């Protein structure tokens, strides 16, 4: 039972990092692209 309780520590850290990543992603979606779009794929060579 003691080991099971201590296994929460890495699990809580992973959950926290996932939550932060989700917040950063949503903030990025709300603010729009951070660089201008280019039509590099559609250039004629």
pLDDT at 4: 79
Task: Supply 5's token pair.
Answer: 């309780």
- Average pLDDT for runs of 10 along the chain of length 45: 84 96 94 75 58
pLDDT at 36: 76
pLDDT at 11: 92
pLDDT at 7: 86
Question: Rounded to an integer, what distance in angstroms lies between the CA atom of residue 29 and that of residue 21?
Answer: 12
Question: Rounded to an integer, what distance in angstroms lies between the CA atom of residue 20 and that of residue 27?
Answer: 11
Question: Rounded to an integer, what distance in angstroms lies between the CA atom of residue 6 and that of residue 24?
Answer: 28
pLDDT at 42: 59
């Amino acid at each position: 039972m003691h080991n099971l309780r201590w296994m929460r520590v890495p699990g809580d850290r992973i959950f926290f990092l996932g939550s932060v990543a989700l917040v950063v992603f949503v903030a990025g979606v709300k603010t729009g692209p951070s660089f201008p779009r280019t039509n590099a794929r559609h250039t004629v060579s």
